[in-house]
Amino acid sequence: MNTPSTPSLYSCADEYDPHSMTVEQARSVIARYLKPVAGTMRVPVRSALNRVLAEDVLSPLDVPAHANSAMDGYAVRFSDLAASGETGLAVAQTLLAGAAAQHPLVPDQAARIMTGAMLPAGADTVVMQEQARREGERVWVAAGQRRGQHVRLPGEDLSKGLPALHKGRKIRPAELGLLASLGIGEILVYRPLRVAFFSTGDELVSIGHPLEPGQIYDSNRYTLYGMLTELGFDCLDMGVVRDHPVALENAFEEASRMADVVITSGGVSVGEADFIKPLLARLGETVFWKIAMKPGRPLAYGHLGESHFFGLPGNPVAVMVTFYTFVRDALLALSGISPVAPAPRLRVRTTTPLKKAPGRTEFQRGIVSRGADGTWTVRSTGNQGSGILRSMSEANCFIILPLDSGPVPAGEEVEIQLFEGIL
Ligand code: AMP
Ligand code: MG
């Protein structure tokens, strides 16, 4: 339905070495398969927050509908104003926002006007009250005004008949207000993306159960739940699935039946749980990549029936890094957003030295902060082990060190990606 069946993923990936993929190569292979979900629905404007427009919205009217004042002051005819010295004008009417102007402005007249009030016919310029001197029924206007100043022109915000918003736009607070300014009560949006996920591993225990020796609590499902929910997707948490071929096959089949996207964590390292690879080869088409990145080296991507599949590594930090590096943008594209803007990156100096060996792109965890002198710098959260989830909790950015870079001394500029910008 939404997934191209040919050319196969394997042939697509052939031009790459699956044992050594760069982050960019993997992103571009995935990008070839991303088409928005088919379903759409008409919803009231407020329910559309964080949803994605499925059609262009044409403006049914000019906004503003009439020329109006951007300031409290006096509406005048620019041609009445003297080039030098003050000009005296008779104040003929007072115009408040919301009322239509009653009389046109004749030569040598001014109208007292409030912000948002309609300009009377004949007026083309507004003089701020701070530049006018009122004397009873007359007003004296200082020289040096510009023709057309402080006037909002009809249609300068939105023009009737032209697209006010394009298909693929995520509806944020600004879009809600913009739609309201057009008097639009309902819009067509894509249905929310359905994402099923489960953890794999015999050592995993769900919260609420005591830990036996050798067991650990499953944290990846909680991280994934949080990341997916915050992005506005419908989540289906399928729990922990044992490293057992039948259990895994059932889980994969159920997940792909119910969801547009299936995400798993664990079991994608080489040599581990060998049945996952043949199982996925039978159920769909999937590539297992070793990405030249840290953390997050193993990653699987493919299709299970109509669904997209992401097999993330097991380590908790690697799950978050690979989600934000590959999965986030892919899911946004599937949910209809177009174009998907990658999370912004900035350059700042690091105040701590950063350990790094050439050969892999590293996503280290950093804390960016503003110093007393106003400059922003970043420091490392310390231990960068891929199981240390505390580093993600303390961090507010990734420090992205490129493939070829070696260790970075303190004081050097590095690239960072703000967590806030990702959401
Ligand atoms: P794996 O890729 O399955 O070999 O897992 C790599 C590491 O991540 C192992 O130390 C696992 O115990 C750990 N791990 C895997 N899944 C989870 C999970 N859901 N929550 C916490 N740790 C996990
Ligand atoms: Mg495992």
Domain count, the chain: 4
Q: pLDDT band for position 379 (50/70/90)? A: very high
Q: Nearest to residue 30, comparing CAs of 283, 260, 308, 344?
A: 308
Record the tokens describing residue 240, joined without a space: 């922990």
Tell me, what CATH number does 178's domain have? 3.90.105.10
Q: Percent of the chain, pLDDT > 70? A: 94
Q: Are 195 and 256 in contact (CB under 8 A)?
A: no
**Residue 5 pLDDT greater than 70, yes or no:** no
Where does a domain end: 334, 365, 396? 334
157 within domain boundaries: no
Strands 284-290 and 298-304: antiparallel
Average confidence (pLDDT) over 64-92: 96
Average confidence (pLDDT) over 21-37: 94
Q: pLDDT band for position 423 (50/70/90)? A: very low
In terms of domains, do 381 and 391 share one? yes
Q: What is the pLDDT of residue 6?
A: 39
- H-assigned helices in 291-346: 316-322, 328-334
Strands 194-200 and 261-265: parallel
Dist. CA 266 → ligand 1 center (Å) = 5
> What is residue 230's three-state secondary structure?
helix
Give the pLDDT confidence of 135-191 residue by residue, as tens digits: 999 999 999 999 999 999 999 999 999 999 999 999 999 999 999 999 999 999 999
Q: What are phi and psi of 4, to 5 degrees?
A: -65, 135
| Rounded distance between C-alpha atoms, residue 110 and residue 126, angstroms | 9
In terms of domains, do 29 and 49 share one? no
Q: Are 75 and 125 in contact (CB under 8 A)?
A: yes
339 within domain boundaries: no
In terms of domains, do 235 and 329 share one? yes
| Rounded distance between C-alpha atoms, residue 131 and residue 144, angstroms | 10
Give the ligand 1 atom nearest the CA of 243: 3
**Residue 36 pLDDT greater than 60, yes or no:** yes
Q: pLDDT band for position 418 (50/70/90)? A: very high
27 within domain boundaries: yes
Which listed ligand is nearest to 220 at the C-alpha? 1
Dist. CA 201 → ligand 1 center (Å) = 7
108 within domain boundaries: yes
301 within domain boundaries: yes
**Residue 281 pLDDT greater than 80, yes or no:** yes
29 within domain boundaries: yes
Q: What is the pLDDT of residue 15?
A: 59
What is the CB < 6 Å shell around ligand 1? 199, 201, 203-204, 216, 218-220, 265-267, 269, 272, 313-316
Q: What are phi and psi of 350, to 5 degrees?
A: -95, 140
Higher pLDDT pick, 16 / 240: 240
Q: pLDDT band for position 102 (50/70/90)? A: confident
In terms of domains, do 184 and 90 share one? no
**Residue 91 pLDDT greater than 70, yes or no:** yes
- Where is average pLDDT lowest: 4-18, 70-84, 108-122, 264-278? 4-18
Pocket test of ligand 1: the residue of 220, 289, 386 to mutate, having most ligand atoms within 8 Å of its CB, is 220
235 Cβ neighbours under 8 A, 6+ residues apart: 195, 196, 197, 224, 225, 228, 229
In terms of domains, do 82 and 139 share one? yes
Q: pLDDT band for position 101 (50/70/90)? A: confident
Q: How many CA atoms lie within 13 A of 78 on its CB side?
A: 11
Tell me, what CATH number does 227's domain have? 3.40.980.10
In terms of domains, do 256 and 391 share one? no
2 within domain boundaries: no
CA nearest ligand 1 atom 16, residue: 314
Burial class of 61 by CB neighbour count within 10 A (0 to 12, 13 to 18, 19+): middle
CA nearest ligand 1 atom 15, residue: 314
Dist. CA 387 → ligand 1 center (Å) = 8
In terms of domains, do 179 and 206 share one? no
In terms of domains, do 146 and 86 share one? yes
Pocket test of ligand 1: the residue of 243, 265, 320, 388 to mutate, having most ligand atoms within 8 Å of its CB, is 265
Give me the domain span that covers residue 112. Answer: 68-152
Q: What is the pLDDT of residue 200?
A: 95
In terms of domains, do 96 and 84 share one? yes
423 within domain boundaries: no
Q: Are 82 and 141 in contact (CB under 8 A)?
A: no
Give the ligand 1 atom nearest the CA of 240: 19
Give the pLDDT confidence of 219-277 residue by residue, as tens digits: 999 999 999 999 999 999 999 999 999 999 999 999 999 999 999 999 888 666 567 88
Instruction: Tell me the CA end-to-end span of the chain in Å, nearest whole number.
Output: 28
| Rounded distance between C-alpha atoms, residue 32 and residue 113, angstroms | 57
Give the ligand 1 atom nearest the CA of 266: 3
In terms of domains, do 182 and 225 share one? no
Please provide the average confidence, as pLDDT, over all residues in the chain.
93
In terms of domains, do 309 and 208 share one? yes
Record the tokens describing residue 118, joined without a space: 């309609």
Tell me, what CATH number does 413's domain have? 2.40.340.10
Where does a domain end: 311, 334, 357? 334
Tell me, what CATH number does 117's domain have? 2.170.190.11
Q: Are 314 and 203 in contact (CB under 8 A)?
A: no
Q: What is the pLDDT of residue 151?
A: 98
Query: What is the pTM (predicted TM-score) of this model?
Result: 0.88
Give the ligand 1 atom nearest the CA of 272: 4
**Residue 345 pLDDT greater than 50, yes or no:** yes
Give the ligand 1 atom nearest the CA of 267: 3
In terms of domains, do 359 and 251 share one? no
Which listed ligand is nearest to 240 at the C-alpha? 1
